[in-house]
Structure 1
């Protein structure tokens, strides 16, 4: 549409200027049509229309979103060569994108260019760099950046959230809690993201009571839990076998404006299956559809496995075949689950049929399926040979 508009302008004798080209390049990048934006950028320069800092920034942003770091850095170098000074926004886009990909050393080199261009790094720059180190679990380096920000008086609440998240993911929960407790003393209030991060960290650290107390503290202070907060709590409660409390929490979600999504249902269905409550799991699986929610392949895999364990193979097969009609085609995991169900319950012909089908779709037998086949179908040379061909040269299990 944008290129058509540009063509229409030219045909009507209205020559586009730098502002017009920049607007269209920006729109193309936002529509993820970056190749078209790059071509238009080249066309613009060929027509001797000089791009400005905004043009370059839009294109760098689009390239970063596609992971085209080298091309983005080349554009930055081109800008400087054309005596077009990148602004703080230009630098921060590139630095943030590199850090999110874990390319912190590359981001550091951009910061050096930034300083040489007399552009002072700001809180966004440092937050991006700190986040990059956190993503690489280099928490000591992340802490140094944080301390430098404190020293320079540019730390903000988001800075605390980033470092707390990094500590939680690195399972350094005590340091995360220490930072959390420090926030109000420094004049910063935690947000829902920070609370949710810590609740997850406490569950992962094996401190469920502390996680639940923090959730209560969050609600008491007027912070609205989001769907991720609820999902973390549901998952933790189900994993520790406290299904009654998980159901109470789920019902509270349903009464609130924040409605459970398919992830919430999947967590409960999984917990019910593991607790041997197949009837309840089936009921919640049906409720998914009643609520207009679409189960994903993981949800289907859980309920199919549960039905197979209970020996309800006809019902499991019906759910398996109904996946495609429900807009969710089975993947290799689902095939392996139902094949294992039929093998374990002695229905070798149906298992063989599904193995053939699975192989035909390009999915691979996992270790459990391969072992069951070797044990139960030792004389089926065709199936064994096909599974052997699948696993040769890969990390699969050798079935011979």
Structure 2
């Protein structure tokens, strides 16, 4: 009971401080959002009043949220209003599932206001609820509020996890505060919280996107792990940065450590080789991929076709189109756009032939 009261008081203080410290625009927006659930209809998506028992209703609500079929805000607010009038009140788990569904609709301000209503109803949020709250603040670019929530999470004795840390780190990076984000991770490590693969992946992805690939490599060394998903992020970052040599080194390191490269890794490598015009290496890698038991997918084929088109290797384009169609895949919109642009600029008969082959074998998807 003491923990619940403590949680309620701390978050109630936060919301009070928030509403009185933000500028007038944000305060008006916050209070406006808070009015939604008070006026929401007690109906389901069929428009009929809910008359079933509380247990049956909650089971239906859980199933609806878990199935990801809840996509209408009015329906979600109707469920929330009904849940607040059930006695005894549903658990925080039930409310969190509904909040997750609403956050998935990208109504982040409304989620914040609903969490306030849950608090005022006497239900203490758990670490997952607070994770949703942090995520919503990040989407609204209110990162300062995230730190307030993080401080309360630690004060309440919750163990932060990737649900809490990842959105916060990402939000800080998106604001360009790289040192601040790394400082946060370092502080978390000092209090015995070791960031997981997902957190490191988030950091590396942000570093690569802003061109700080060397820092990303250093972070990989610090991890001292060859996790495939993290290495894929780095290989993709090097590809986008045009650092083919580093991309090759990472790819080869992955193979020499005994890790099995997947179709995504091969496709990223093929993309990097295509960008540099190394088409013979592309063909060798494609064969190596199949020999290693990794089947190409539609992304792989489209990447190769686009690369060969851009370097005017139409005979090879036709070959890979036929292979792609034989495997049951089709050209995507990017491939079609490249081909159409080539036709509109130079009217090369070979490009007309390629388009004819493509249309004859399978219509562009």
Alignment of 1:35-50 (within 5 A): 35=73, 36-46=75-85, 48=87, 50=89
Report how many aligned residue pairs link the two structures.
313
1:49 Cα offset (Å): 5.5
Gap regions ≥5 residues in structure 1: 329-400
The equivalent of 1:91 in structure 2 is: 130
Is the CA contact 2:108–2:140 (under 8 Å) kept in the aligned structure 1? no
Structure 2 residue corresponding to 1:293, chosen from 307, 329, 339: 329
Counterpart-to-counterpart distance in 1, 2:99 and 2:183 = 29
Superposed CA offset, 1:32-68 (max 9, x none): 3143243233234446552321221111111111111
Structure 2 residue corresponding to 1:240, chosen from 269, 272, 276: 276
The equivalent of 1:128 in structure 2 is: 167
1:130 Cα offset (Å): 1.2
Alignment of 1:1-400 (within 5 A): 16-17=53-54, 19-30=55-66, 31-34=68-71, 35=73, 36-46=75-85, 48=87, 50-99=89-138, 102-111=141-150, 114=153, 118=156, 120=158, 122-124=160-162, 125-158=164-197, 159-184=199-224, 189-307=225-343, 309=346, 311-312=348-349, 315=353, 318=356, 322=359, 326=363, 328=365
Higher CA-based Rg: 1
Superposed CA offset, 1:167-202 (max 9, x none): 222211222222212222xxxx23112111222233
Is the CA contact 1:95–1:110 (under 8 Å) kept in the aligned structure 2? yes
Superposed CA RMSD in Å reads: 3.1
Secondary structure, counterpart of 1:292 in structure 2: coil
Is the CA contact 1:60–1:94 (under 8 Å) kept in the aligned structure 2? no
Counterpart-to-counterpart distance in 2, 1:106 and 1:223 = 41
1:275 Cα offset (Å): 2.1
Which structure ranks higher in relative contact order (CA pairs < 8 Å, sequence separation ≥ 6)? 2
Moved more, 92-101 or 247-256: 92-101
1:86 Cα offset (Å): 0.5
Give the direction of change, closer, same or farther, for the CA distance of 1:305–1:43 in structure 2 (3 Å limit): same
Is the CA contact 1:269–1:281 (under 8 Å) kept in the aligned structure 2? yes
Superposed CA offset, 1:190-229 (max 9, x none): 3112111222233344432222121111012122223322
Give the TM-score of the pair, scaled to structure 2. 0.75
Is the CA contact 1:307–1:316 (under 8 Å) kept in the aligned structure 2? no
The equivalent of 2:13 in structure 1 is: none
Give the direction of change, closer, same or farther, for the CA distance of 1:79–1:114 in structure 2 (3 Å limit): farther
Moved more, 95-104 or 263-272: 95-104
Secondary structure, counterpart of 1:141 in structure 2: helix
Give the TM-score of the pair, scaled to structure 1. 0.69
Is the CA contact 1:53–1:86 (under 8 Å) kept in the aligned structure 2? yes
Counterpart-to-counterpart distance in 1, 2:223 and 2:343 = 49
1:106 Cα offset (Å): 4.4
Give the direction of change, closer, same or farther, for the CA distance of 1:135–1:264 in structure 2 (3 Å limit): farther
Is the CA contact 1:304–1:319 (under 8 Å) kept in the aligned structure 2? no
